[in-house]
Amino acid sequence: MFHPRRTLRALLLPLAAGLALTALPAQSASAASTLTNPGFESNGTGTTTPTGWSTYSAGGQTAASFTEAGGHAGSYRLTHYSASAYKVETYQYLSGLTNGNYKLTAWVRSGGGQNSAYLALKNCGGAEQRTDIPVSSSGWIRIVTPVAVTNNQCTISINSDAKAGNWINVDDLTFTSGTAGLPIKGSDVSSLAKSEAKGGVYKNSSGTTGDALAILKSAGQNYARLKVWVNPADGYNNKTRVLATAKRVKAQGMKLLVDFHYSDTWADPGAQSKPAAWAGHSYSQLKTDVYNHTYDVLNALKAQGTTADMVQVGNEINGGMLWNEGSTSNWSQLAGLLNSGYDAVKAVNSGTTVALHLAKGGDLAGTRWWFDSAVSNGVKFDVIGLSYYGYWHGTLADFQTTLDDAATRYGKPVYLAETAYPFRLDSKDSHENIIDLSSELVSGYPASTAGQTQWMKDVASIVEAVPNGRGLGIFHWESTWTAVTGNGWDPTDPSSGNGWENQALFGYDDRALPAMAWFSHR
């Protein structure tokens, strides 16, 4: 844990306000094409301006930046902290760079609460690039910031605009050739068709009513996820409805992820019920059922010109699927069912990506056990999807550890299959929200539009930082599931309510929320 104490503080006169960073005379003398003292090991404790770095504060608060013991890999780190409100920047100017794409990587922690706390690459020839520092008071988190250098120079900047007592730690920076970004910026919109049929309305941020998919697309969404139930009681999320919504998704220029539940209702870690039509079928018949159902839906999509780009064979299959035959207590049978789905996907279109999806975003041991078992049983798959909700699945640091390990251990791309965060706690309908108490929230992320936005940006940064470019992207879960009478959670009960409207990406006034800004994440 962070302890804001120090025995030595070097006080330096603040740099004159208003001086352009690239015009400071000391910089040209120390300019270099590689970072100096990137781990803050050169100076020990209490140094306000570490070797190779400069410190700036318009308010004369340079002492809020200092080195201290407790590094990520080495003995020391950089900290920003003051008992009173402060604004401070610690930066290093690099010159003599070969023009091209670069990537800054850093390990960070933060207690949260700042007006802003971020890493930036600026004066590099193009637009400044920033990555916010996620709130993580104990575990270190690795973040990246990419930039195109076009003028042979770049300034690496660590910034805090903080309230009294706020702190960040930064350590072990690298600035190397490379790029970063998120190919997939999506959301699950399975609830949309029923919402619209029951009178649901969607508006852009200025209040103009429009097509929800068009509003999401204009915010930067490039992928949509649709679940498939076999024969649901309400007639939604079945083959016919998915075909209709898929046409709209593709018409927006988005890609399509089809999420097979292999059930008539919700399939998740606590329930993997066989569809009624498959009840009593033998294991051998279930393999055929999975193949035929998967092939039928995907081939119909292909026939209408909306071929699936990615497919999940099962939804949150921590304990397997099609219980009991496909339980993880019988891995050889589960493997057979999963491979039956894989083969059907590839038979329709060999270019469609097949994902396996667990709800174990912060569970390193559990994710390893599951995929080790899958690999040893010959399960075929292309990518790994993990659900990660911060109020259920461990810390952000746990999520990064698990995601990174899955990508490296299995040599597969990974994506955040589901996440969300509340923008308020109260309900719009009479149904209790799943997350409705402040005690259920993630520390540092309030139930506000700002808190929801920050959550989405920070999990995006973690996916972006997966090594070797294996972080594919994110799907926000059920962005369009607003509170509309008749569009509740239970397909068998028209009067059931919605426990999720406070985590959608449209507010109680039906307007697009600021959290849609994460879709424009690099």
Q: Are 195 and 484 contacting, i.e. CB atoms less than 8 angstroms apart?
A: yes
Q: Are the CB atoms for 91 and 119 separated by under 8 Å?
A: no
Instruction: Point out which residues pair with 69 in neighbouring strands.
Output: 76
Furthest C-alpha separation in the chain: 80
Backbone angles phi, psi at 274, to 5 degrees: -65, 145
Which residues have C-beta within 8 Å of that of residue 417, sequence separation ≥ 6? 312, 355, 357, 385, 386, 387, 475
Task: Give per-residue burial for 105-140: e unless 16+ CB within 10 Å, then b.
Answer: bbbbbbbbebeebbbbbbbbeeeebebbbbbbbeeb
What is the Cα–Cα distance from 326 to 142, expressed in whole angstroms? Answer: 37
Burial readout 24-62 (b: 16 or more C-beta within 10 A, e: otherwise):
eeebeeebeeebebbbbbebebebbbbebbbbbbeeebb
Enumerate the active-site residues. 316, 418
> What distance in Å separates the CA atoms of residue 506 and residue 249, rounded to the nearest whole number?
18
CA 47 to chain centre: 35
What's the CA gap between 323 and 67, in Å, rounded?
55
| Cα–Cα distance list, 477 to 466, 503, 519 (Å) | 21, 9, 13
SS3 (DSSP) at 396: helix
Do residues 403 and 384 make contact, with C-beta atoms less than 8 angstroms apart? no
Give 323-328's long-range contacts (Cβ < 8 A, gap of 24+): 323/272, 323/273, 323/274, 325/283, 325/286, 326/272, 326/286, 327/272, 328/370, 328/373
**CB neighbours of residue 269 within 10 Å:** 14
Side by side, the strands of the sheet bearing 153-162 are 54-56, 86-95, 153-162, 116-122, 129-132
